[in-house]
A and B are shown apart, each in its own frame.
Chain A
């Protein structure tokens, strides 16, 4: 059963890591708008900037 002494702290460390990652994501606007990105994907007229950039590079 000594393996528990490794596995349990490991699970807790992973847990803390997951919570920290999630907090980071929340604080960096990843969950603020759950609706618009899904709509943007279906937008007929997406923002043209990337294309314009490509043309410039050519």
Chain B
């Protein structure tokens, strides 16, 4: 079809039930878009097998999908899409990000379907694709190819036009014969025409879309300026007098396209991580049918409960459990840990991990958008779809700015037509061209997008972009100890039993309760018990910071801190219980109402890189505090090993929250670092919550920033990058303001020639973008991205 408007009309006709006209018609008038297969059939998304691949089930009949929207250019598009979709009944939330051109839509399944949502979008003039890695890549490739071609045509055109113009400028009229003069004018026209009609087409299309939506976007003044310069030059060339601006219009388009191209590259980069993750699942899987025959099926045809065979070196297609005795897998892309992980029968295998020895059989438990991998990708995507406060303020400023530019242009025309009508046109042209809304609109998004991409490449996933601002301003870091500064895996060192209970019996009893909890200490106890045939514990309740209570073997048991497990014992009794062993309060106690049963002693190791992380944070001037629920002796030990003096032991979550509150009341801005699950309430109380999470927990972590791969040493560089980002944002804003304040009055007064104005505007845009691209360059000298990360990128690229 010829344009988005026609498409919209056609959809409308279809919806009203008038579509039969097209089915009955024998000869089609004009073929629609050459690649309709990517989007024409919205109804295809209705098929559950396909819809499952792109949507995710939330609770109570709500579904969520992330889609890529083609044609989003800036704030106005975002507004339009949010309006159009938000007004539909059944649509609960719409979030659009212009920088990554993604929309996150949550809707109620009973009231609206995915095909309907897509239809609404296409009626508004936007083509939406529910995010599937392969479809996304195609759109992106087409966009980048188009942009490159347009850029090159504009570049060659500008070069040639300038050469021809140089003859006109330098040759003068006295040495050139009039016919030669005429020839060079028309040569300029010849090379500028493809530039205007081919290279500048995105600007015209964008401007049309804005005008149709009754909005002023950034493309409007640009398109207006290009059309005016070109039209005016053509008139001059026809009349054979005056000056032609074919060179400036080509140059103008070229510089604008360079800016757009760089922006597009940054945008694609930002999406790279998500797509790298989404690309990791293979397109096909080997399913074992009931009769034992293997069949090759598309990955989206996989169902929960299917038995799947993965070959050696193959990629696990969906989350499942191992049916074979044992195997080894590489989960580097999820945990950052490249060492093979041993799996035993009934262990969970995660989609995207690589089987090292095989083949292996597994039973599929979660498919498509429910897999851990998809969860991680959604987490990253959500971060990009959320517009930070900073960016929203920037967009509002840009829209106001465009309105002012147009007003000033009109004023310039009016005033000059009284003063000197001959110069009115040139001056108005100069005002339009010299004004640089792009610098305003790009100043913040360019920096934030770049920062998100740079951080993501280092394994720092920013869930809430506002966190960049808070991270940069932080003054204190509060670390949790267990699982954060130390390895999450505790090892059971010793068991002491009371009242003649055998060690094995005590361990079995404790393990049956402990396996219901995710606390590191509980996991260590559960893991130490070799016997997997345990009595099920019922009525399990975990008490944050204290322990777990449950009914096991018919008795009410408590497992945890001594004062929790034995609430009726006074502190003297507890002291007596420890019978002179000062470290007994470190132990995890198992007790029933009758008294203590056993004490479990655990040992812990410092996390690799913890010392370096702490040191480099201190170098940056941050105060570091340890707040742990653990006993004083162990916390003091860890603090001493890290060279820290400020530590708080025996902290309940409420104590930690109070500590954070006190710090913040004193004017500090606090980063809280924890494992994101056990101390979620504490993280919520900080200015920036940072969770260390790997694998399955990553998607659930409640935090602003996730350190994927559990690498503490990325924290200090991340803060350096955040600080640099804010600096760049401020520089960009100041520059845009300064440039426009200086350039626009000069242009309105008629001092700026249109070609100089074109140069100035492009220069200003380029400054902003190049400045944003500096983010991550300096920090790169301090810390190279991890080898794993680079290799992961490489693999994703090859795949």
Residues of chain A having any CB pair with chain B under 8 Å = 1, 4, 8, 11-12, 15, 18-19, 22-23, 26-27, 31-33, 35-36, 39-40, 43
Contacts and interface: CB of A to CB of B under 8 A. Distances in A.
B798 interface: yes
B139 to A, nearest CB: 13
Pick the 7 closest A-B CB pairs, nearest first.
Answer: A36-B797, A39-B794, A26-B145, A22-B152, A26-B148, A31-B148, A32-B141
Contacts of B180: 1, 4
B12 interface: no
B793 interface: yes
Contacts of A18: 156
Contacts of A11: 160
B797 A33 contact: yes
Given A15-B156, A26-B145, A36-B798, 16 more contacts: A8-B183, A12-B160, A15-B160, A15-B191, A26-B149, A27-B145, A31-B148, A32-B145, A35-B793, A35-B797, A36-B794, A36-B797, A39-B790, A39-B794, A40-B794, A43-B794
Contacts of B790: 39
B187 interface: yes
A37 B28 CA distance: 45
A40 B160 CA distance: 37
Interface of B: 141, 144-145, 148-149, 152-153, 156, 160, 177, 180, 183, 187, 190-191, 790, 793-794, 797-798
A54 to B, nearest CB: 22
B143 to A, nearest CB: 11
A19 B798 contact: no
Nearest to B787: A44
A11 B187 CA distance: 11
B302 to A, nearest CB: 29
Contacts of A1: 177, 180
Nearest to B177: A1
B145 A19 contact: no
A31 B177 CA distance: 45
B797 A19 contact: no
Contacts of B177: 1
Contact of B144 (A19, A27, A32, A43): A32
Given A19-B152, A22-B152, A31-B148, A39 B797 contact: yes
Nearest to A37: B797
A4 B187 CA distance: 12
Nearest to B145: A26
Contact of B153 (A19, A27, A33): A19
A34 B174 CA distance: 50
Contacts of A36: 794, 797-798
B281 to A, nearest CB: 19
B187 A8 contact: yes
A1 B184 CA distance: 13
Contacts of B160: 11-12, 15
A32 B149 CA distance: 12
Nearest to B146: A26
Among the interface residues B152, B190, B191, which one has the most CB atoms of the partner chain A within 10 A?
B152
A56 B792 CA distance: 32
A39 B183 CA distance: 49
A8 B156 CA distance: 15
A36 B798 CA distance: 7
A23 B194 CA distance: 14
A8 to B, nearest CB: 7
Nearest to A22: B152
A27 B793 CA distance: 24
A30 to B, nearest CB: 10
Contacts of A40: 794, 798
A52 to B, nearest CB: 16
Nearest to A45: B791
Contacts of A31: 144-145, 148
B176 to A, nearest CB: 9
Nearest to B190: A12
Contacts of B793: 35, 39
A33 B190 CA distance: 33
A22 B149 contact: yes
A47 B797 CA distance: 14
Contacts of B191: 12, 15
Nearest to B163: A11
Contacts of A33: 797
A23 to B, nearest CB: 6
Contacts of A43: 794
Nearest to A25: B148
Nearest to A40: B794
30 contacts: A1-B177, A1-B180, A4-B180, A4-B183, A8-B183, A15-B156, A15-B191, A19-B152, A19-B153, A22-B149, A22-B152, A23-B149, A26-B145, A26-B148, A27-B145, A31-B144, A31-B145, A31-B148, A32-B141, A32-B144, A33-B797, A35-B793, A35-B797, A36-B794, A36-B797, A39-B790, A39-B793, A39-B797, A40-B794, A43-B794
